[in-house]
Amino acid sequence: MDALFLKLIVAFPLLAAAILLLSAGRMPARATCVIGTGSVGLSALMAARVATHATSPASLHVPLWSWMRVEGFSTRIAFTLDPLSLVMMLVVTFVGFLILLYACGYMRDDPDIARFFGYMTLFVAAMLVLVFSSDLLSLYIGWEGVGICSYLLIGFWHIDSANVAAARKAFIVTRIGDAAMLCGLLLLATRAGTLEIAPLLAAPPASATAAFLLLGGAVAKSAQAPLQTWLPDAMAGPTPVSALIHAATMVTAGVYLIARLHPLFAAVPAAMATVALIGLVTLLLAAGSALVQTDIKRILAYSTMSQIGYMFLALGAGAWQAAIFHLVTHAVFKALLFMAAGAVILRVHHRQDIYQMGGLARAMPGVFAAFLAGAAALAGLPLLTAGFYSKEMILQGAWHANPLLWAGALLGALATAVYIFRCIFIVFFGPRHTDPTGRTGATMALPLLCLGILALVGGWIDMPDAIAPVHLLSRLLSPLFGAPTAEGPSWLLWTGSLVPLAGVGLAWLLWRPRIRAFTPPEDAVARLARTGWGFDTLYDTLVVRPFVALGRLNQTDICDRLSDATAATARAGGRMLGRMQSGQVRRYAGWIAAGTIAALCLGAWP
C-alpha cells in the first residue's frame, strides 16, 4: 500500500498539471485553484500517511519500468523512500501545499491563472521525482524538470521584456551547472558501470573529477558563488513562485544532491573543502548585498543565497544532519517571509521599495506578526525560533571542522540579524509613506498562520543537550549519515545565542523608528554590494560581449560564403537552363541536331 501511495504522491500534481495546461484557460478560476491546490494537498496527506505508517523507510523501493539496457550498463525508473527522501517529501508537499493555497488568493485576478497553477504543480511533481529517484539518470530528469519549470514561472508575466530576460538568465546560468553535472554522471557511469544510487554509495569511486563536476551542478542550481547571479533577478516572477523556488524546491536541489551522494564527496577531501569554502564565501557576500538592498523581495533573495551558503558550509564540514535540519527550517521561515512580503506588496499598490512603505505594523498587524516570526527565525533568535536550533547545529559542526569556518558563519549570523531587522524597522515602523488598502484574505492568511507557528516551534525536533536532549531529526537521519557531530563547549552555545541579539540591537540603533530613516553613505563598496559585487558586470565583460561579438563576426564566415556561392551557382545554372526552354520547336530541333553531331564527333575521335 505504501508503494502505491508513493506513486500517487507524484502522480497527483503531475495529473493536475496536465489537466490545467490542456484546459488552455477555459476552466473557471475557482476550479483551477481547487485542482491545483487540491492535488498537492492530496500528496501532502499521502506523504503524512507514508511517514506515520512506514515501519522502515529504508526498505521501501518501488520499481516502475526499465529505461535502457545495453551491454555493461542498465538504468531504470524507480522510487526509493529512505530517511532523507522522507524528510524532503514532507517539506516539498506540505510547504508546497501552503504556497499554492496562498497563491489562490494572490493570483485570483490573473487571467492566466490556469497556466500558473499548471506550471506550479508540474514544478512540485518534478521536485518529487528528483527526491524519490533511486537512479541518478532519473534524478536528472527531475533536476531538468525543476529547471524548465523555474524558467516558465520566472518569465510568467512575459509581456514585460525584463521578466523574459530574467527567466532566460536563470535558464542559461543553471544550464552551465547542468552540463557539468551530466558530464559527472557520464564519468560515474564509466567508472562504476551503474548510476544506481545504492551501489554507488556502497562502494563510491574516489573520483575527484566526478565530485567536482557534480558540485558544479549543485552550485548553479542552489545559486552559490560564482553561479549565483540568476537568483536575485528571479524575483521577476509572482511572489508565490519566489516562495516555491526559494523554500521547497529548486535552490534546495543542490543541497539534496550533495547530501544524497555524501560518501562520494567524503571520499574526496578537496571537494569537501571546496563545498565548505563556497558556502562560506556565498553566505558572506549575499549577506553583504542584502544589507544595502531597497527592494523587499531582493533582500529575501540574497537572504536565500546566504542561508543556502550555510547549508553548503555544513555539508563541507561533514555536518550532514545540520545541513538537512537547516534546509527544513529554512523552507518554513523563507516561505513565510516571501508570502508575508507578498501580502505587503499587494496592499501597498505593488510597491516593493522598502523606503516607500513604513508604519505598516498597525495597518496590517497579522501580516506584521507573520513577517516578524519569519524574520526572528531567519536571524536565529535564541530559544524562541526554529532557525536558532538549526543554525546552532551548523555552528557546532563548523567549529569542529575548522574554527575559521565557525568565525565566518558567526559573522554571517550577525549580518543576517542586521539586514532582516533593518527591513522590519523600515517597513513596519516609522513614518508611513504609502497608505495600504484592502485586507489579506483567508486563503493567504491561513498559510501565514501555519508557517508562523512552525517558524517558532519547528526547531523543537532537534535541540542541543544543554537545552533539552531532543534529537528526533538526527536520529531519523543517522542510518544514512551516522552519528551527528558532538556538541562543543557551552560557550559556543552562548556565543551563537548572543550574536543574533547583538545584530538586532545594531539594526535598532541604525534604523529605529524616527522622523527620518538612517541612510548610510553611498560609497563605492555599497554600490558594489547593491549590484551583487559586480559578478554580472564581470560576466558581461568576459563572456557575454565577446560571445556576441564572435557571433557577429561569424555571420559571414567561410562556411556561410561557400553556402552563398553554391546557392548563387545553382541560381545562375537555373537561369541558363531556363533560357533554353523557349517553346520554339525549331530551336529544340537545332539543339538536338547539334547534340547529335557532337556525339558522332566524339564517337569518331581516335
Q: What confidence tens digit (pLDDT) does each residue in 241-257 have?
A: 999 998 878 899 999 99
**441, β-bridge pairs:** none
pLDDT number for residue 580? 66
Give the pLDDT band (50/70/90) at residue 322: very high
Q: Is residue 119 a contact partner of residue 154, using CB atoms and an 8 Å limit? A: no
Distance CA 128, CA 568 (A): 55
| pLDDT tens digits for range 119-134 | 999 999 999 999 999 9
> What distances in angstroms separate CA 597 from CA 180, 476, 576, 590, 600, one per listed residue?
69, 97, 22, 11, 5
Residue type, 387: G
Question: How many other CB atoms are found less than 10 A from the CB of residue 292?
Answer: 19
Number of CB atoms found within 10 A of residue 351's CB: 16
Q: In 3D, which of 415, 425, 147, 195 has the Cα closest to residue 296?
A: 425
- Confidence class for position 135, pLDDT limits 50, 70, 90: very high
Q: Are 344 and 437 in contact (CB under 8 A)?
A: no
Task: Let me know if 289 is exposed, middle or buried by CB neighbors in 10 A (0-12, 13-18, 19+).
Answer: buried
Cβ atoms within 10 Å, residue 604: 7
Q: What's the whole-model pTM score?
A: 0.91
Tell me how far apart the alpha carbons of residues 573 and 372 are, in angstroms, rounded to a whole number: 78
Residue 424 C-alpha cell reads as 522590519
Name, in order, each residue with C-beta under 8 angstroms of 254's C-beta and a sequence gap of 6 or more: 217, 218, 219, 220, 221, 222, 224, 308, 312
Q: For position 56, what pLDDT does the model report?
A: 54
Q: What does each C-alpha distance from 587 to 142, 247, 580, 591, 600 come to in angstroms?
A: 70, 82, 9, 6, 20
Burial tier of 396 (Cβ tally within 10 Å: 0-12, 13-18, 19+): buried
- Amino acid code (one letter) for 409: A
